[in-house]
Homo-oligomer: A and B are copies of this chain.
Amino acid sequence: MRAIQYQSAEVPAKVVNIDHPTPGDGEVLVDIKNSGLNHRDIFITKGLYPNLRPGSTLGSDGVAVWKERHFLVNPNVSWGPNQQFQGENYSILGMPKDGTFAEKMVLHPDRLAEKPAHLTLPQAAAIPLAGLTAYRVLFSRCQLAPEDRLCVSGIGGGVAIFVMQFALAIGAEVWVTSSSQEKIDQAKDMGAAGGCLYTDDSWHKILKKKSGGFDVIIDSAGGTGFSQLISTANSGARVGIYGGSLGKIQDLSPQLIFWKQLNIFGSTMGSDRDFEAMVRFVDQHKIIPVVDSVYDLSDFQNAFDRMDKGQQFGKIIFDNLK
């Protein structure tokens, strides 16, 4: 079967032909019809991820066929018993444990969640890791409520779009930021109330004035813009951080944080309980993920490049089976 594996720093990802994997204790062999690309896969191929194991099959997102039924694959490996944080043995499918960028994989049936009926297979493959991350940061951590006004920074990425969709689904007002007017317009087409280019001067002042300020802010950039972003927070606001693509946060005012009684919550992935709740939410609210594009598994390099350049709006999906 075909699989995309991490080889070495020199050959970070390559299509290989390997034997079907053999199920371990309690595991089953499933077909993977579609899989989804995440920034994590890019980080791995750039060597920006710890404990890289040569010969690991990449990929955290997938839709599996088992006993002629379709399932979302839960990307968690050993979250552990505490809902507040992942345990020490936690990892994500696709490094070091073999992931979803293959025609078949082995996993325990408790990693399978029935596919909501309203979703196509590529749509379903777009959900697991990004949907889980979005659900946890937005609901389990920031407790978004229908009466809240939300700002999602960097709209266009997989998690950010889910955050927006989930928030719109419960009736919250959503605003977005991006460096691309096209992405802001796409978000408005999907129901966002408005947005700002964070490349504009004084964008945060304009955004605060236009929106009226935010009860919840979800960010994955950090960097120098974070302090500007949270200057748009209302008193008592909850700020969720699920990434740091622009590096360390600078010039953050403690006075703003304590005077406004802000709550800043770090969040990454989510527990198995978050995963179950997220799949139920997607089913109940008939969320349809945004699929940016579908590539054949062999064409992975073009897919990786598209994500690396930030050109996508929504999830990049693979067809795993020829």
**Nearest B-chain residue to A258, judged by Cβ:** B266
The answer on a CB contact under 8 Å between B258 and A254 is: no
**Scoring A residues 205 to 248 as 1 if CB is less than 8 Å from chain B, else 0, what string do you get?**
00000000000000000100011000000011000011110011
Q: Contact flags (1/0) for A33-62 with B, using CB distance below 8 Å? A: 000000000000000000000000000000
B-contacting residues, A248-307, CB 8 Å: 248-268
Asked if A85 lies at the interface with its beta carbon under 8 angstroms from chain B, I say yes
Q: Which residues of B contact A247 (CB under 8 A)?
A: 254
Given A235-B85, A249-B249; A254-B265 close (CB under 8 Å)? no
Instruction: Report copies per complex.
Output: 2
Contact A254 B248 (CB under 8 A): yes
Distance between Cα atoms of A85 and B263 in the complex (Å)? 11
Q: Pick the contact of A251 from B235, B248, B253, B257 — CB < 8 Å?
A: B248
Tell whether, in the assembled complex, residue A264 and residue B268 are in contact, meaning their CB atoms are under 8 Å apart.
no
- Nearest neighbor of A84 in chain B, beta-carbon distance: B236
Asked if A268 contacts B263 (CB within 8 A), the reply is: no
In Å, the complex CA distance between A268 and B259 comes to: 6
B252 pairs with A261, CB closer than 8 A: no
- Asked if B236 and A82 make an inter-chain contact with CB atoms under 8 angstroms apart, the answer reads yes
Cα–Cα distance between A242 and B258 once the two chains are bound (Å): 5
B265 in contact with A263 (CB, 8 Å): yes
Assuming the A-B contacts A85-B235, A236-B82, A236-B85, are A257 and B261 also in contact, with contact meaning beta carbons closer than 8 angstroms in the complex?
no
The reply to whether B254 and A251 form a contact with Cβ atoms under 8 Å apart is: no
Contact A264 B260 (CB under 8 A): no
C-alpha spacing A86/B258, complex, angstroms: 11
Given contacts A249-B249, A250-B251, A251-B250, contact A257 B241 (CB under 8 A): yes
A28 to B: closest C-beta gap in Å: 31
Q: Which of B222, B255, B256, B267 contacts A261 (CB 8 A)?
A: B267
Residues of B within 8 A of A250 (CB): 248, 250-252
B251–A258 CB distance below 8 A: no
Q: Find chain B residues with CB under 8 A from A84 CB.
A: 235-236, 261
Residues of B within 8 A of A264 (CB): 257, 262-265
List, in ascending order, chain B residues with CB within 8 A of A254's CB: 222, 226, 241, 243-244, 247-249, 266
B253 touches A261 (CB 8 A): no
Query: CB within 8 Å of B: which of A110-126?
Result: none
Cβ B248 vs Cβ A253 within 8 A:
yes
Instruction: List residues of chain B with CB within 8 A of the CB of A255.
Output: 244
**9 examples of A-B residue contacts, CB within 8 angstroms:** A85-B236, A222-B252, A226-B254, A243-B258, A248-B252, A248-B254, A249-B251, A254-B266, A259-B266
The 7 A-B pairs of least Cβ separation, nearest first, read A244-B254, A222-B254, A257-B266, A85-B235, A264-B264, A84-B236, A258-B266
Known contacts A222-B254, A264-B265, then 19 further A-B pairs from the complex at CB < 8 Å, ordered by chain A residue: A84-B235, A226-B254, A241-B257, A241-B258, A243-B254, A244-B253, A244-B254, A248-B253, A248-B254, A249-B254, A252-B252, A259-B266, A259-B268, A261-B268, A262-B265, A262-B266, A263-B264, A263-B266, A264-B264
